């Protein structure tokens, strides 16, 4: 398949330029003869960005396919302009051995509409970590969350960091201090109060200090508090990175009225939200990732619901709406959702719109307005915390490995499973 985007505004982290973009097979190329089998797309007034790389999703296979399947999750992804997802290891069984990693590869093979990778779980499994190959990163749960991957032993963290340093693999931490969570659970009942910012600050500060000692690559998942922003800002270097999630940018703790907005780490105060926006702007934050964590309406609607909210399909429209509101620039999105996740997780040849790179692209209409509604939701969970929001700025075409998978807000008619294991 050959594509030409005519007269489109290409946006990368370092600027924008109106030009034609040629796609031949999987790649962006300098130029080709406009023969007969070329599809010409008029990009006048529209923007072409690197396809979104969402480095933190939970697509629930194996073990919880009633919440999400790889087909539904990856459909949701491409509908939202996402071309690559990196999936978390808190499956059943957890992805903590090479055997389980291989089993997950076999399970997902040939079933994905977007590209994908599988993070590996780090707990006491040191021998497995030594032999690990083919994961973008190792995930460590410093505080308990969904699944049973908790590691609350500093000596185990140190060993994991050392192994990953030798293997040049980033460690991703879920940074919430488990002792404090357990203590506060005796005293408080409200989720956002039990898991306060001090839980996050203690764990983030411990992880950053350990990284300073070992020298490994460290990525702080779902950073949510102003204290964490300050720690990362003060210790920033190319081996220390962090992500923020849309739910921590678009909601505050006051809005959590029931289980639907319960997640770990929880929603925070307005001053934390403001600090995250500031930190995205000044480069302290490297990536936006969704922590797409679908649970069914039935599961979320009862007392003591599981933590987690879906998000993979609306992160780009939410951020485009924020660009329209003047809060960020499109160049910031190209960095936060494209070039930085590609750099941190070693996805070479992706994350930038340039000749020679793989054609993972998203075409954006900044003037299109739509309301998020249940019937837009492709995720199997069937709901979104953003229902009812009017958003201006939507992806209108998603290209994965040179193939059009979404067009005009609809999945492509001949939608094919072009996603590759990265």
Catalog residues that contact ligand DOR under the rule CB under 6 A. Answer: 58, 90, 145-146, 174, 263-264, 293, 306-308
Complete DSSP assignment for 243-293: EE-HHHHH--GGG--SGGG--SS----HHHHHHHHHHHHTTS--EE---B-
CB of residue 90 vs Zn ion: minimum separation in angstroms? 7
CB of residue 228 vs ligand DOR: minimum separation in angstroms? 15
Which entry of Zn ion, ligand DOR, none binds 89, CB below 5 to 8 A by partner kind? none
Which entry of ligand DOR, Zn ion, none binds 264, CB below 5 to 8 A by partner kind? ligand DOR
Q: How many C-beta neighbours within 10 Å does residue 179 have?
A: 11
The whole-angstrom separation of Cα 104 and Cα 100 is 6
Which entry of ligand DOR, Zn ion, none binds 380, CB below 5 to 8 A by partner kind? none
For Zn ion, give the closer residue by CB, 1 or 150: 150
Pick the catalytic residue: 54, 272, 291, 332? 291
The whole-angstrom separation of Cα 43 and Cα 4 is 9
For ligand DOR, give the closer residue by CB, 218 or 267: 267
CB of residue 306 vs ligand DOR: minimum separation in angstroms? 6
The whole-angstrom separation of Cα 410 and Cα 396 is 8
Which entry of ligand DOR, Zn ion, none binds 307, CB below 5 to 8 A by partner kind? ligand DOR
The whole-angstrom separation of Cα 369 and Cα 311 is 19
CB of residue 6 vs ligand DOR: minimum separation in angstroms? 43
For ligand DOR, give the closer residue by CB, 306 or 402: 306
Which entry of Zn ion, ligand DOR, none binds 145, CB below 5 to 8 A by partner kind? ligand DOR
For ligand DOR, give the closer residue by CB, 224 or 378: 224
CB of residue 341 vs ligand DOR: minimum separation in angstroms? 18
CB of residue 321 vs ligand DOR: minimum separation in angstroms? 23
Dihedrals φ, ψ of 396, to 5°?
Answer: -115, -10
> Residue 225's closest CA among 264, 267, 190, 194?
267
Q: How many C-beta neighbours within 10 Å does residue 160 have?
A: 25
For ligand DOR, give the closer residue by CB, 58 or 201: 58
Q: How many CA atoms lie within 13 A of 85 on its CB side?
A: 34
Clarify whether 291 is annotated catalytic. yes
Tokens representing 267 are 């929603």
The DSSP H or E segment spanning 59 is none
Residue pair 34/72 in contact (Cβ under 8 Å)? The answer is no
> Residue 224's closest CA among 254, 265, 191?
265
For ligand DOR, give the closer residue by CB, 224 or 307: 307
The whole-angstrom separation of Cα 403 and Cα 361 is 10
C-alpha distances (whole Å) from 193 to each of 184, 265, 297, 308 are 8, 11, 24, 17
Which entry of Zn ion, ligand DOR, none binds 308, CB below 5 to 8 A by partner kind? ligand DOR
Coil, helix or strand for 132?
coil
Which entry of Zn ion, ligand DOR, none binds 286, CB below 5 to 8 A by partner kind? none
The whole-angstrom separation of Cα 141 and Cα 174 is 5
Residue pair 342/296 in contact (Cβ under 8 Å)? The answer is no
Coil, helix or strand for 103?
helix
Which entry of ligand DOR, Zn ion, none binds 90, CB below 5 to 8 A by partner kind? ligand DOR
For Zn ion, give the closer residue by CB, 2 or 248: 248
Residue pair 223/292 in contact (Cβ under 8 Å)? The answer is no
Residues of this chain that interact with Zn ion (CB under 5 A) are 291
Residues annotated as catalytic are 291
């Amino acid at each position: 398949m050959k594509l030409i985007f005519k007269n489109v505004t290409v946006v990368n982290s370092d600027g924008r330029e109106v030009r034609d973009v040629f796609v031949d097979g999987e790649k962006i190329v300098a130029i080709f003869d406009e023969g007969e089998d070329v599809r010409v797309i008029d990009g006048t007034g529209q923007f072409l960005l690197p396809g979104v790389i969402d480095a933190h999703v939970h697509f629930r296979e194996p073990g919880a396919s009633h919440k999400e399947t790889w087909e539904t999750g990856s459909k949701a992804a491409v509908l939202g302009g996402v071309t690559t997802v990196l999936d978390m290891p808190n499956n059943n069984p957890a992805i903590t051995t090479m055997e389980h990693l291989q089993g997950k590869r076999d399970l997902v093979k040939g079933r994905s509409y977007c590209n994908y990778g599988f993070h590996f779980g780090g707990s006491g499994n040191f021998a497995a970590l030594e032999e690990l190959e083919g994961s973008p990163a190792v995930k460590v749960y410093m505080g308990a969350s969904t699944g049973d991957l908790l590691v609350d032993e500093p000596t185990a963290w140190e060993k994991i960091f050392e192994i990953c340093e030798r293997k040049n693999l980033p460690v991703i931490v879920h940074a919430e201090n488990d002792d404090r969570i357990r203590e506060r659970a005796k005293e408080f009942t409200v989720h956002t109060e039990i898991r306060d910012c001090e839980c996050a600050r203690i764990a983030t500060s411990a992880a950053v200090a350990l990284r300073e000692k070992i020298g490994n690559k460290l990525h702080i998942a779902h950073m949510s508090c102003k204290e964490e922003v300050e720690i990362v800002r003060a210790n920033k270097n190319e081996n220390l990175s962090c992500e923020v999630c849309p739910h921590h940018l678009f909601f505050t703790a006051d809005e959590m009225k029931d289980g639907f907005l319960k997640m770990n780490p929880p929603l925070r105060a307005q001053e934390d939200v403001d600090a995250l926006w500031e930190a995205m702007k000044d480069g302290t934050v490297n990536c936006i990732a969704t922590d797409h964590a679908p649970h069914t309406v039935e599961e979320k609607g009862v007392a003591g619901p599981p933590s987690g909210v879906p998000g993979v399909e609306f992160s780009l429209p939410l951020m485009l709406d924020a660009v329209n509101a003047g809060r960020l620039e499109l160049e910031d999105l190209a960095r936060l959702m494209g070039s930085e996740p590609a750099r941190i997780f070693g996805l070479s040849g992706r994350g930038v719109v340039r000749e020679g790179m793989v054609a993972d692209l998203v075409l954006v209409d900044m003037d299109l307005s739509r309301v998020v509604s249940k019937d837009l939701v492709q995720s199997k969970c069937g709901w979104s915390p953003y229902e009812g929001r009017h958003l201006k700025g939507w992806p209108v075409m998603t290209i994965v490995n040179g193939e059009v998978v979404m067009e005009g807000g609809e999945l492509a008619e001949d939608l094919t499973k072009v996603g590759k294991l990265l």
